[in-house]
Structure 1
Amino acid sequence: MQKPLQNYIPALTGVRALAAFLVFISHYAYAFDENFPRAVQRFLTEFHIGVTIFFVLSGFLIAFRYFDSFKLTGDWFRQYLKNRVARIYPMYFLLTLGAFVSYYFTHDQKVTNGFANPIGLFLMHITFVRGFFDQLKFTGIAQGWSLTVEECFYFSAPFIFYFAQKYRKFYIQPVVITLAGVTLVLVFSHVNWYGFFGNFTFLMLYTFLGRCFEFFAGIQLALIVRKQKLDGQNKTKFTYLGFGLIFVCVWIMSVLPIPKGEVAGLHHPFGIFTNNYLLAASIALFFYGLLTETTMLKKILSNPFVELLGKSSYIFYLIHLGYMYDFLHYYFNKWNDDIFALYDKWGVDWVSPFQYDNLNVLYAFIILNGVSILLFKLIEEPLNHYIRKSNFLIKSKVHTPQNKSEAINA
């Protein structure tokens, strides 16, 4: 069943930018150590919640588009996978290749974490399997671990929909999936294989089996709203209630004790519960508001420029941490040294525009967004359309997306 045109909500594309920017802040919160109290810095560190926003949004969009129309047939599954590959894979492959080419020249151990065979590790990355190994999850493009979680959901979604329709006991599925993960940890935790399902923290934070509830929260939202008229006329302020609860969850994680060897309250057992369950429910409530209400926040997220940032946010997410940021950081330091050398030559005591970490982070944020938009316009979007029109996996049919949601969001 195709959704009518008015059911496209630009704010959900804007939400992608919000999620990516929250993750960016969490990774560079250290730059504000000297300017904010410790409590504020801890709060910013927990902005990893952008990943949970992505997961809930994926669950919603895939269910909203496919729940009423999926078929467990070879042709349907090939077309479905073709669409998923077109959306996710080209930029991930190219940027991952860039990370390993960078490693060839720099020998940056962050890329391999001591793994003896870089080519083998590259193959594990482009097949998404590195995300099953605790010791390898942050290699290559470190944040790319989340794409293994996404891909597991993409492959599972049609079967989740099938069992939901056939047996109606939708709530049992996340329990069964999580228990399957627990079983894997019990089996493999004593096996020294690069941390393959090596511990329960890894299971619950870095695998689909542990984080499946976030996707199910999005699916449940889709099942609630899929037959509603999403005209923005609801007067109940679920948007602001959900948005506020999201940051209550952030606050909870920010006051929890940080386990030894970790960097955030997220890794505390109650932090895991808060992130995977309470936060996911809060995000679903926030999305329900965006879908059914008209608020100032929705208007901001629907702004055409914010929407463009949302479309390019996948690339921004992949490049905001790693070799591209390191390249910028190297030149900021170099330019800072050159400027002070010039000041010494002139005999003046001036301020360098690159001497403050927080300003350098801001420069990098702006530059990386510009790069992301360029890569989206020049590479990601054309490749996406090319693959969808090609005969990859299944012979292409002449097909024009009937709505923006089908063309962009899904």
Structure 2
Amino acid sequence: MSQKPLSNYIPALTGVRALAAYLVFISHYYYVFDDVFPHIVQRFLGEFHIGVSIFFVLSGFLITFRYYKNFHLTTDWFKQYLKNRVARIYPMYALLTICAFVYYFITKDQSITKGNDNPIWLMIMNITFIRGFFFQYWDTGIAQGWSLTVEECFYFSAPIIFLIAKKYNKFYLQPIVLTLFAIGMTLIFSRINWHGFFGNFPFVMLFTFFGRCFEFFVGVQLARFVLNKGFERTNKVTYTYIGLILMGLCVFVMALQPIPKGWAAGVQSTTGIIVNNYFLCLAVALFFYGILTENTVLKKFLALPFVELLGKSSYIFYLIHLGWLYNIMHGCFDKLNDLAFELYDKWGVDWRSPFEFDKLNLLYAFIILNAISMLLFTRIEEPLNHYIRKSNFLIKNKPRNPENESAKIA
């Protein structure tokens, strides 16, 4: 019996992107609930950076799922591939990064430059993704944008990964070589201290492609398996929920680790790095395999049109949820709070301000950020994406059926 052709678009995986972005959001603002949850719960929420691992595994899966079978490492193929990737990732990142530095020039907010005295050069490093290789600069500009340097490294590497896997049958050797390269570079440059270039092991293992390549390779291997076996299976194992439970276990283990000096979470400990980079991604892959092959309530929810829209706009949400735009919103909430109490004094009433509670303000911010993200996605990101794909950028456009893509990863 012939196998049904595999769809190139999977709505539930688009919904997963929203889930991943919201986990990262929680990890950055869990401190707001310090007076509500016990310490271990706070630590647990603080390790929800696992959304980044979900992005990385998903990126490895999607790129492989779309390109592995029709891969031809020719100049035209690579130009078209690169054009698609630029269209998806770069326009909004460049626009929002420029906004971040305009915000800095107006406000002198040091959270953008981390005290660096050459903001123009720093902006160039951010726009070109170079900052992601330097410990001194990795969290400047749009701080969470460091992950895009990791993503871009994978995008450039993917065709080579495919070539070595298909032509030389050396798939499993590649992440070992890349990890050894990361270790060697760190041993060399940690002694030189050139602006923190490959400056220390926690940085290299957690914030560079070479340290986190295993997560992408897990996604690549999942795609290769699915391309070979399809979405249909006979066993009744609920991989979706097994994967979620194992992901929660990994988070719990990281939450139990002591936080190293100068860092912010248990993931930056030695055990945390091992769990995050080598065990968590396996749990994520099981979760994805369940999403692909099962009809669970969660899958149906993630595929809902509104959740799908949240997933499509989650890239922008990820880029704006922390940093200059959130800082502006936080300042507006403070001013609105002061204004509310001024009005109460004028009216002679003793009322509560709707902006005096940090938890409510965080909820307001979450809703507003999602609204802004959806607006920017529909009005700027998606039109720019289509414009670049139809343009003659890198390679002359050829009339063809639109490529169905479920998601871009941040």
TM-score of the pair, normalised by structure 2 = 0.96
Residue 301 in structure 1 maps to residue 309 in structure 2: no
Whole-angstrom distance in 1 between the partners of 2:188 and 2:258: 29
2:211 alignment partner in structure 1: 210
| Equivalent pair of 1:70/1:158 in contact (CA under 8 Å) | yes
What is the match of residue 70 of structure 1? Answer: 71
Distance 1:354 1:247 in 2: 33
Structure 1 residues 219-234: aligned runs within 5 Å: 219-230=220-231
Return the offset for 1:235. 2.8
| Equivalent runs, 1:173-184 vs 2, <5 Å | 173-184=174-185
After superposition, residues 370-389 of structure 1 pair within 5 angstroms as: 370-389=371-390
Alignment of 1:111-130 (within 5 A): 111-130=112-131
Q: Which runs of 5+ in 2 are unaligned?
A: none
Aligned-partner Cα distance in 2 for 1:385–1:230: 30
Identity %: 66
The whole-number CA distance in structure 2 between the counterparts of 1:75 and 1:374 is 34
- Pairs within 5 Å for 1:108-147: 108-147=109-148
The TM-score normalised by the length of structure 1 is: 0.96
Structure 1 distance, partners of 2:228, 2:188, is 43
How far did residue 194 of structure 1 move? 1.6
Q: CA deviation at 1:345?
A: 2.3
Structure 1 residue 232, shift from structure 2 partner: 8.2
Counterpart Cα distance in 2 of 1:150 and 1:8: 20
Shift of 1:383: 0.3
CA distance in 2 between counterparts of 1:232 and 1:320 reads 39
For 1:165, the equivalent position in structure 2 comes to: 166
SS of 2:161 mapped into structure 1: helix
**Structure 1 unmatched runs, 5+:** none
Mapping of residues 201-350 of structure 1, within 5 Å = 201-230=202-231, 235-350=236-351
User: Pairwise mapping of residues 18-167 of structure 1 onto structure 2 (< 5 A)?
Assistant: 18-167=19-168
Give the drift of 1:389. Answer: 0.5
Deviation track 1:68-101 (CA, whole Å, cap 9, x = no partner) reads: 2212211111111000000000000000000011
How much has 1:407 moved relative to structure 2?
Answer: 6.5
Equivalent pair of 2:91/2:384 in contact (CA under 8 Å): yes
Cα displacement (A) at 1:344 = 2.1
Residue 169 of structure 1 deviates from its aligned partner by: 2.9
Structure 1 Cα separation of the partners of residues 211 and 407 of structure 2 = 28
User: How many residues are treated as equivalent by the alignment?
Assistant: 406
User: Is the Cα–Cα contact under 8 Å of residues 11 and 308 in structure 2 kept in the other structure?
Assistant: yes
Tell me the C-alpha RMSD between the 2 structures: 1.5
Q: Which moved more, 1:381-390 or 1:230-239?
A: 230-239
SS in 2 for 1:396: coil
SS of match in other structure, 2:49: helix
For 1:30, what is the secondary structure of its paired residue? helix
Amino acid in the other structure paired with 2:98: L
Q: CA offsets per residue over residues 155-199 of structure 1, 9 Å max, x none?
A: 001001111112223211101001111111111112232211000
Q: Hey, what's the Cα distance between the residues in 2 that align with 1:42 and 1:407?
A: 33
Q: Distance in 1 between matches of 2:121 and 2:235?
A: 53
Q: Distance in 2 between matches of 1:407 and 1:290?
A: 14
Return the offset for 1:9: 1.8
